Amino acid sequence: MAKFLVQRSGPLKGEVTISGSKNAVLPIMAATLLTEEECIIKDVPALRDVDVMCELLGSLGAKVDKNLDENMVSIRADGEIRWEAPFDLVKMMRASILVLGALLLRTGRAVIHLPGGCAIGERPVELHLKGLRALGVRVDEEQLKKGIVDASAEKLTGSTVYLDFPSVGATEVIIMAASMAEGTTVLENAAQEPEIVDLASFLNKMGARIKGAGTGTIKIEGVEKLKGVSHHVIPDRIEAGTFMVSAAITKGRILIKNMVPNHLKAVIAKLKECGVEIEVTDEGVIVDGSKNPIVSTDIKTLPYPGFPTDMQSPFMALLSVAKGPSIVIETVFENRFMHVGEFNRMGANIKTEGKCAIIPGSKHLQGAQVVATDLRAGAAVVLTGLVADGTTEVSQIYHIDRGYEHFAEKLRALGANIMRIEE
Ligand code: UD1
């Protein structure tokens, strides 16, 4: 199993280019099942989750042509589409559930074993199913008790759906299912993430009629047919945020290219509160952590446009060394503090109580053997290793490979001392 060896590095300097968004490309790839025509997706990041989605679509019967050296995938789902997603793929990635709506439209049925992915909390799918039931889908309750989603529908009919929580995945599945349902669907308390907007713009290019993506109310007028299109995926805002923190924590100065500052308003505001200088230029965003001492701040994760839960652990790395104590409140997932144990191994002395973590700050961290407990937490412990004395050995980095394209190479180009070893 591969590991990263990370050593204390000086201030990171130079420029980095952000890759296409993992969380945008996965639902877009699932949406290609909605047409028999070819779809070409560009700026696709070379990630393990993308590989898994390619395999999943292939196993369902789509023809997938993957050229990740060129960051491109083309998908043509013109043959017979199977309705059952293989368990060994689904268990590797929670986002497999995203094929649910498209499968129902294409085959009238979808059978998916409840997925794995990051081990952060319960992560149920009852909101996805609530939306689908409203559109006329039947869900086998006995199978569901065994952890298998077995859903079927002869036809889907537009309806009004209220989401009790603005779940990203549920919003995406319902938009896809409603895109070719008969009549109009109104989705209330929808997730507003930029990835939802990217999915809607992809579907609209295909011929769908979706309005209001990016707001809490999305209206989808069903159409009979969708066509193949070509699409560039938006930049990954979480990768961009992680590199912003890498500049701050090492007191470096980096230029981040291909980042959309509007997608990171909460992260930018919080970094500024910590003393980081941020300038938006035509070339990209300059993040300068060298000008002021880094001071503490409190954060509370929320659905977009609030502070992203995926930035919680990278930001906690920064707060561990910031001057003064901070409080982090995690409201999106109920079990997303597993990285705290890893930070504490390095001397961060963080305490948790329910949804709250108290970070004393001002710590001089020591390198240690740590584990990437999930995808973002993996990136976070790497960042911590950049400012800790000695060597930090990060294991289980397959989590990082799921979501950060060429992470070590990009950090090394900025002056970070990080090495990958394959064991
Ligand atoms: C997506 C992102 C993930 C991010 C998360 C929250 C992808 C591929 N992944 O995950 O990186 O951390 O959004 O921004 O886009 N919930 C329910 N019932 C449901 C569905 C969700 O209670 O039916 C709860 C979950 O347990 C969780 C919260 O809602 O506590 C957020 O989940 P959701 O927004 O659905 O996240 P994902 O789409 O899985």
pLDDT in tens, the chain (423 residues): 899 999 999 999 999 999 999 999 999 999 999 999 999 999 999 999 999 999 999 999 999 999 999 999 999 999 999 999 998 898 888 899 999 999 999 999 999 987 654 444 556 899 999 999 999 999 999 998 888 899 999 999 999 999 999 999 999 999 999 999 999 999 999 999 999 999 999 999 999 999 999 999 999 999 999 999 999 999 999 999 999 999 999 999 999 999 999 999 999 999 999 999 999 999 999 999 999 999 999 999 999 999 999 999 999 999 999 999 999 999 999 889 999 999 999 999 999 999 999 999 987 899 999 999 999 999 999 999 999 999 999 999 999 999 999 999 999 999 999 999 998
Q: Residue 123: what pLDDT?
A: 61
Distance 333 CA to ligand 1 centre (A): 8
Cβ of 26 closer than 6 Å to ligand 1, yes or no, is yes
DSSP conformational letter for 221: E
Cβ of 170 closer than 6 Å to ligand 1, yes or no, is yes
Distance 146 CA to ligand 1 centre (A): 21
Cβ of 310 closer than 6 Å to ligand 1, yes or no, is yes
Q: Residue 115: what pLDDT?
A: 60
Peptide bond into 305 cis (omega under 30): yes
Distance 120 CA to ligand 1 centre (A): 10
Cβ of 309 closer than 6 Å to ligand 1, yes or no, is yes
Nearby residues of 168 by Cβ (< 8 Å), 6 or more positions away: 23, 191, 193, 195, 196
Cβ of 124 closer than 6 Å to ligand 1, yes or no, is yes
H or E segment to which residue 128 belongs:
helix 126-134
Cβ of 270 closer than 6 Å to ligand 1, yes or no, is no
Contacts 24+ apart (CB under 8 A), 47-51: 47/22, 47/401, 47/402, 47/403, 47/404, 47/405, 48/398, 48/401, 48/402, 49/22, 49/93, 49/95, 49/402, 49/403, 50/22, 50/25, 50/26
Q: Residue 113: what pLDDT?
A: 86
CB 75 within 8 A of CB 64: yes
CB atoms within 10 A of CB 409: 11
Q: Active site residue: 54, 118, 274, 356, which one?
A: 118
The CA radius of gyration of the chain, in Å to the nearest whole number, is: 21
Q: What are phi and psi of 148, to 5 degrees?
A: -115, 125
Residues in the chain: 423
Atom of ligand 1 at shortest range from CA of 128: 23
Adjacent-strand bridge partners of 16: 256
Distance CA 347, CA 367 (A): 9
DSSP conformational letter for 262: G
118 is known as an active-site residue: yes
CB 44 within 8 A of CB 69: no
CB 95 within 8 A of CB 49: yes
Helices 48-60, 22-31: inter-axial angle, 10-degree rounding: 10
CB atoms within 10 A of CB 212: 15
Atom of ligand 1 at shortest range from CA of 23: 15
Instruction: Identify the residue whose C-alpha is closest to ligand 1 atom 5.
Output: 168
Q: 183-203: buried (b, 16+ CB within 10 Å) or exposed (e) per residue?
A: eebbbebbbbbbbbbbbbbbb
Distance 98 CA to ligand 1 centre (A): 12
Atom of ligand 1 at shortest range from CA of 126: 23
Instruction: Identify the residue whose C-alpha is closest to ligand 1 atom 30.
Output: 333
Nearby residues of 353 by Cβ (< 8 Å), 6 or more positions away: none
Instruction: Identify the residue whose C-alpha is closest to ligand 1 atom 17.
Output: 124
Atom of ligand 1 at shortest range from CA of 304: 14
Instruction: Identify the residue whose C-alpha is closest to ligand 1 atom 35.
Output: 167
- Both structure tokens of 43: 């700026």
Distance CA 370, CA 386 (A): 13
Ligand 1 pocket, mutate which of 50, 56, 123 (most atoms under 8 A from CB): 123
DSSP conformational letter for 179: H
Cβ of 128 closer than 6 Å to ligand 1, yes or no, is yes
Three-state secondary-structure class, residue 305: coil
Adjacent-strand bridge partners of 13: 253
Distance CA 114, CA 241 (A): 30
Q: Residue 120: what pLDDT?
A: 45
Distance 332 CA to ligand 1 centre (A): 8
Distance 93 CA to ligand 1 centre (A): 13
CB atoms within 10 A of CB 380: 29
